[in-house]
Amino acid sequence: MSGGQDGPLAGRTAIVTGASKGIGLGIARRLVQDGARVVITARGEEGLRRAVASLGAGRALGVAGRADDPDHQVDAVARAIERFGGVDLLVNNAAVNPAYGPLMEVDHTAARKIFEVNVLAALAWTRQAYHAWMGEHGGAVVNVSSIAGLRPAKGLAMYGAGKAMLVHITQSLAVELAPRVRVNAVAPGIVTTEFATPLYAGREAEVASAYPLGRLGEPDDIAGLVAFLLSGAAGWITGQLVVADGGVSLVAAE
């Protein structure tokens, strides 16, 4: 894949966490198409190698590690600056959900892991990028939340609580980091990825029937929105949560 040298993100460098597959890889691919260079992170080195190969080694760099590991965060930001000359854009996409089930039965260790990866790590990545580059040079951040953070979703209460907190953090950071850095969030509905498979596997048509647009999401649906929010076209947008869910959040829950 070759990047668009004259695209809306030409000359910019982005870090996308959790980007060896799924929504994260879709976002990284769109950013490269729009002219950016990308540093992608994930836990598995082999998955990252495949992802970088699909993006183009000259436009992408993979850095393996856990999203909630401070040393990994420092390393990825430093390598982005060393390899591509800066960290202009950040997409906090990495997420886990080891606590599927009723809130009253949630394992506290699993709950803590959700907050560490889905919430605190996003804040830590933003701090690191800000102190290393964005604070002086400016930039934009997009946090990937979920419609599970907007209203109760069966089996996803703890995951949703973390995503709701991420939205509040987004709004607070938008105020704190302005005017140098814009911070926004997106809230996808169910997107057909490996991560979301338990929510639709074997019954995709049934699940999709609840969506006014008649289908589940695809990574490209989220990638285009994220790319817009990172671009100059969204230069007067900050602190916002943009829902991309095929209209399902407009339908009353059963």
User: Among 130, 159, 200, 211, which one carries the catalytic annotation?
Assistant: 159
Q: Are 134 and 87 in contact (CB under 8 A)?
A: yes
Instruction: Classify strands 89-92 and 139-144 as parallel, antiparallel or unpaired.
Output: parallel
Beta strands in the chain (DSSP E): 13-16, 37-42, 60-64, 89-92, 139-144, 181-188, 241-244
- 161-166 contact pairs (CB < 8 A, 24+): 162/114, 162/115, 162/118, 162/119, 163/118, 163/187, 165/115, 165/119, 166/92, 166/118, 166/119, 166/122
| Rounded (10°) angle between helices 157-177 and 121-129 | 20
Across the strands, what pairs with 243? 187
Active site residue 130: no
Active site residues: 159
